Structure formats: structure tokens, C-alpha cells
């Protein structure tokens, strides 16, 4: 036969089980909400990543295009200078010699100023 004590123990176990199930349901709902938030954030980040990849691709294309243009300019510049040198049409051009500072400028010195020699020594290093 079933005793009153066994029924009380069963009732206590049922109450504990109901409490645990209630807590687990609350936790489950909380976790589902967090999961939903995280999935939304993941979608946002995927869009950002996609935009970043597109921007990165455009940047790479722009850099490649610029480098290609620079290479074309460099090659055309080399082709223009090499034929003249090979044919000897214009030969190497000499640049006019720049006038020397010593020839154009004479330092002003006073006869009674002996410190002028010290100043010239300082200026000679330039």
C-alpha cells in the first residue's frame, strides 16, 4: 500500500520538477532571444563584410589601373628618349654652366676689419 509519506515525497518532487522546468523554459526563451539578436548582428556584419570586399576590389582595381597608366607613361617616355640617342639626332645636350659664386660676388672686406678672415672661414663650409 502507498503511505501518506510517499505521497508527500512525490508531491515535493513534482513541485521541484515544475520549478526546474519553469526556470529552464525561461532560460530557453532568454537564449532564443539572444540567438535572434546575434543572428541579426551576424547579418549586419555580413553586409558590412560584403561592402568592404566590394570597396577593397574597387581600390585594388584603381591601384592596378593607376600603376598600368604609370607604366605606360614610363614606357612611352623611354621610347621617346632612346630613339634620339640611338640615331644621334640631337646628341647629349650640355646644360649651360652655372656661374660660380666666387666669380660674380666679391666679398666686401674693410682693410681695418681683421675679423673678416674668421667670417670667411665660417662661410667656406657652405
Residue 69 reports pLDDT greater than 70: yes
Report pLDDT for 82.
57
21-57 pLDDT, tens per residue?
Answer: 999 999 999 999 999 999 999 999 999 999 999 999 9
Residue 104 reports pLDDT greater than 50: no
pLDDT bucket at 123, cuts 50 / 70 / 90: low
Does the global pTM surpass 0.85? no
Q: Which of the two residues, 49 and 84, has the higher pLDDT score?
A: 49
Q: What is the DSSP letter of 89?
A: S
Helices (H), 1-126: 4-87, 101-104, 116-123
pLDDT bucket at 79, cuts 50 / 70 / 90: confident
Sign of the alpha-carbon torsion through 40, 45, 51, 54: negative
Amino acid at each position: 500500500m502507498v503511505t501518506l509519506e510517499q505521497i508527500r515525497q512525490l508531491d515535493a518532487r513534482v513541485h521541484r520538477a515544475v520549478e526546474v522546468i519553469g526556470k529552464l523554459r525561461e532560460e530557453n526563451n532568454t537564449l532564443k532571444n539572444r540567438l535572434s539578436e546575434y543572428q541579426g548582428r551576424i547579418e549586419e556584419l555580413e553586409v558590412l563584410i560584403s561592402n568592404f570586399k566590394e570597396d577593397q576590389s574597387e581600390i585594388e582595381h584603381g591601384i592596378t589601373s593607376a600603376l598600368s597608366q604609370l607604366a605606360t607613361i614610363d614606357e612611352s617616355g623611354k621610347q621617346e628618349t632612346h630613339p634620339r640617342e640611338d640615331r644621334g639626332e640631337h646628341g647629349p645636350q650640355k646644360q649651360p654652366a652655372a656661374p660660380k659664386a666666387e666669380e660674380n660676388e666679391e666679398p666686401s672686406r674693410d682693410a681695418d676689419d681683421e675679423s673678416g678672415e674668421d667670417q670667411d672661414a665660417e662661410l667656406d663650409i657652405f
